[in-house]
């Protein structure tokens, strides 16, 4: 009878489903890997060993989640199904599975297991963000049906988008306590330090360091004035994408330098900052460097104002520091001068023509666009540039917001701006909080990060709806806001309890 009572419990049924699911996935992975190159068979076997190790360690969910955060910039993936058109450049050409996907999957399974087995867990959906996101997903699905592309690419594009929503939900629900906020922040700084170190080593030796399997590519060289400039990309590939990723984390890192934390911890926090700033400089990305300065100026001004209470003094100090550091950088780093002031237009001359093509697409398809991940297949029909830029440079327009409007429609762009508006309101609440010495500075850091990110994406693209790390940050911000609201509520309740006349000590 005791056996039957155990079998009928929710916990047993959930564990049984998990065992069957993991066994099925393992078998399918081994079958698929056996038909691929030997390196993938080895990768799957190593992955199974790693999963077995994770099952044994305590606090496995926290470890998996922090590891996933650290691996956000690592392009370790394989295409389960693949369909590439040699004449079109798409961001997604097949059903791609990355190491981060697998880790987030296991973390989500652990979370759902906790919910189903009665750990007083609740799933919060954050309708102010998930409802616009679901509408965007449905709208994009309707738009992609009209696009001319292989079904596998259409399905893979929509899955990549939906996956970002799942990451947002998980991050927003599972980073609500001080310990997880600090752990996630530390994992982000480690990821930044790791990428920066890889980039600096690449620049030092003038080539790759053997991490091609993780996404590393050859150093990108381009003309700058009368010479060439080597631009690093870490494991993110292109230097501009590297600058976009690092530009967000460097702002969070900078804000943490103003917090009242022990000196030993502050020294540790300063290491990723120095490495990250150096790495962004070595990308020689004009948009990335300018965005870093703009976001950093806001960042330092807000942090100094919060500490000193003197806004004018803080503004003057920030301006002086920026002038001194920028002047020194231009004076000492010749490639930097060449990139900004030399005869180094490169794609900069093409960007106005690319924007013209994008605007023409938006004019003809204002509602649904030409389909998610389908921009490069449509540009030839709408190229009204005098240089026929689509034939010389058949890539997406170097403006993220024009790209979204052209592929998915103006309504999607407006809804994305609404999501960003909700996020900025959350950041405003976080910055004004007083219950934790670190949290307000995290809010300032992320605000500076969005300023830098938004500026850089006026001159580049990153496919926001395919970028897991962007939606992780959005979920992280919502989790921090919930932590702030709960802390404020507890503080008010404690004050009310202590001020109650009926309360007396024995």
């955060």: which residue's tokens? 69
Q: For residue 96, what pLDDT is reported? A: 84
pLDDT per position in the chain (506 positions), as tens?
455 454 555 555 555 665 566 666 666 666 666 666 665 666 666 666 666 666 666 677 888 889 899 999 988 777 777 776 656 677 788 888 888 888 898 888 888 888 887 667 788 999 999 999 999 999 999 999 878 788 888 899 999 999 999 999 999 999 988 999 999 999 999 999 999 999 999 988 888 888 777 777 777 677 665 667 788 888 888 888 999 999 999 999 999 999 988 889 999 999 999 999 999 999 988 899 999 999 999 999 999 998 888 899 999 999 999 999 999 988 888 888 888 877 655 566 788 899 999 999 999 999 999 999 999 888 989 998 888 888 888 889 999 999 999 999 999 999 999 999 999 999 999 999 988 889 999 999 999 999 999 999 999 999 999 999 999 999 999 999 999 999 888 777 666 555 555 444 43
Give the number of residues written for the chain. 506
* Helix (H), strand (E), coil (C) string for 279-314: HHHHHCCHHHHHHHHHHHHHHHHHHHHHHHCCHHHH
Q: Distance (Å, rounded) from C-alpha 371 to C-alpha 149?
A: 9
Gap between the Cα atoms of 88 and 395, Å rounded: 8
Instruction: State both tokens at 3.
Output: 């056996």
Torsion angle, alpha carbons of 419, 425, 431, 432, to 10? -160
Per residue in 46-97, pLDDT (tens digit) is 666 666 666 666 677 888 889 899 999 988 777 777 776 656 677 788 888 8
- Give me 489's structure tokens: 């509520």
Whole-angstrom Cα distance, residue 163 to residue 251? 26
- Looking at residue 24, what is its pLDDT? 67
pLDDT value of residue 8: 53
Task: Confirm if 471 and 165 have CB atoms less than 8 A apart.
Answer: yes
Residue pair 464/412 in contact by the 8 Å Cβ criterion: no
The residue whose two tokens read 């190790």 is 53
Of 345, 251, 337, the C-alpha closest to 292 is 251
- Tell me, what's the pLDDT at 505? 44
Taking the CA atoms of 45, 47, 48 and 52 in sequence, report the sign of the dihedral they define. Answer: positive
Q: How many CB atoms lie within 10 A of CB 15?
A: 14
What lies within 8 Å, CB to CB, of 171 at 6+ separation is 471, 472, 474, 475, 476, 478, 479
Enumerate the domain spans of the chain.
2-123, 151-493
Determine the Cα–Cα distance for residues 392 and 226; give it in Å rounded to an integer. 23
Cα–Cα distance, 468 to 239 (Å, whole number): 19
Enumerate residues 6+ apart whose C-beta is below 8 A from 487.
Answer: 433, 435, 436
pLDDT at site 97:
85
In the block, residue with structure tokens 């670190």: 438
pLDDT digits (tens, 9 = 90+) for 337-350: 888 877 655 566 78
Give the largest Cα separation in the chain, rounded. Answer: 87
What number of helices (H) and strands (E) belong to the chain? 20, 4
Token pair recorded at residue 14: 């959930």
**Residue whose C-alpha is closest to residue 241's, from 68, 95, 396, 425:** 396
In whole angstroms, give the CA distance from residue 409 to residue 425.
25
Sign of CA dihedral 242, 247, 252, 253: positive
CB 244 within 8 A of CB 291: no
- Which two structure tokens, joined as six digits, stand for 78? 């394989």
User: Beta strand pairing status for 220-224 and 227-231?
Assistant: antiparallel
Question: Do residues 176 and 486 touch, judged by C-beta distance below 8 A?
Answer: yes
Tokens coding 396: 């997406």
* pTM of the entire predicted model: 0.88
Q: How far apart are CA 430 and CA 443, in angstroms?
A: 5
**Assign residue 206 a region: left if phi > 0, alpha if psi is -120 to 50, beta otherwise?**
left
């Amino acid at each position: 009878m005791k056996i039957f009572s155990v079998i009928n419990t929710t916990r047993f049924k959930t564990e049984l489903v998990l065992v069957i699911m993991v066994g099925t996935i393992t078998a399918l992975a081994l079958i698929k890997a056996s038909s691929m190159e030997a390196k993938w068979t080895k990768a799957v076997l190593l992955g199974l060993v790693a999963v077995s190790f994770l099952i044994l360690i305590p606090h496995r969910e926290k470890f998996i989640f922090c590891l996933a955060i650290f691996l956000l910039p690592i392009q370790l993936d394989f295409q389960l199904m693949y369909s590439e058109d040699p004449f079109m450049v798409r961001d997604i050409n097949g059903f791609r599975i990355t190491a981060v996907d697998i880790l987030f999957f296991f973390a989500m399974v652990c979370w759902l297991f906790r919910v189903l087995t009665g750990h007083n867990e609740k799933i919060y959906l954050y309708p102010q963000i998930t409802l616009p996101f679901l509408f965007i997903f449905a709208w994009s699905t309707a738009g992609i049906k009209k696009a001319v592309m292989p079904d596998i690419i259409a399905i893979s594009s929509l899955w990549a988008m939906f996956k970002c929503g799942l990451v947002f939900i998980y991050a927003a629900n599972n980073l609500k306590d001080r310990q997880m906020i600090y752990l996630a922040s530390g994992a982000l700084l480690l990821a930044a330090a790791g990428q920066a170190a890889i980039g600096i080593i690449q620049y030092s030796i003038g080539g790759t360091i053997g991490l091609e399997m993780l996404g590393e590519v050859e150093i990108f060289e381009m003309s700058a004035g009368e010479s060439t400039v080597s631009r690093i990309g870490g494991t993110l590939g292109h230097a501009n994408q590297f600058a976009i990723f690092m530009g967000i984390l460097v702002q969070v890192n900078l804000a943490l330098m103003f917090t009242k934390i022990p000196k030993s911890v502050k020294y540790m926090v300063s290491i990723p900052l120095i490495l990250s700033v150096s790495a962004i400089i070595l990308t020689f990305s004009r948009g990335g460097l300018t965005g870093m300065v703009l976001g950093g100026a806001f960042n330092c001004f807000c942090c100094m104002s919060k500490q000193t209470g003197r806004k004018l003094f803080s503004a003057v100090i920030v301006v002086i520091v920026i002038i001194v550091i920028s002047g020194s950088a231009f004076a000492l780093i010749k490639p930097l001068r060449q990139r900004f002031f030399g005869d180094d237009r490169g794609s900069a001359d093409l960007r106005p023509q690319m924007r013209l093509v994008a605007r023409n697409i938006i004019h003809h398809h204002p509602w649904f666009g030409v389909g998610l991940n389908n921009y490069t297949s449509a540009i030839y029909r709408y190229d009204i540039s005098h240089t026929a830029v689509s034939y010389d440079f058949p890539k997406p327009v170097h403006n993220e917001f024009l790209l979204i409007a052209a592929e998915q429609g103006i309504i999607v762009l407006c809804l994305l701006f609404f999501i960003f508006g909700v996020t900025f309101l959350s950041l405003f609440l976080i910055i004004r909080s007083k219950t934790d010495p670190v949290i307000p500075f995290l809010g300032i850091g992320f605000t500076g990060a969005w300023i830098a990110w938004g500026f850089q994406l006026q001159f580049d693209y990153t496919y926001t709806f395919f970028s897991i790390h962007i939606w992780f940050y959005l979920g992280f911000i919502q989790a921090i806001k919930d932590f702030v609201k709960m802390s404020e509520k507890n503080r008010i309740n404690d004050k009310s309890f202590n001020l109650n006349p009926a309360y007396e000590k024995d």
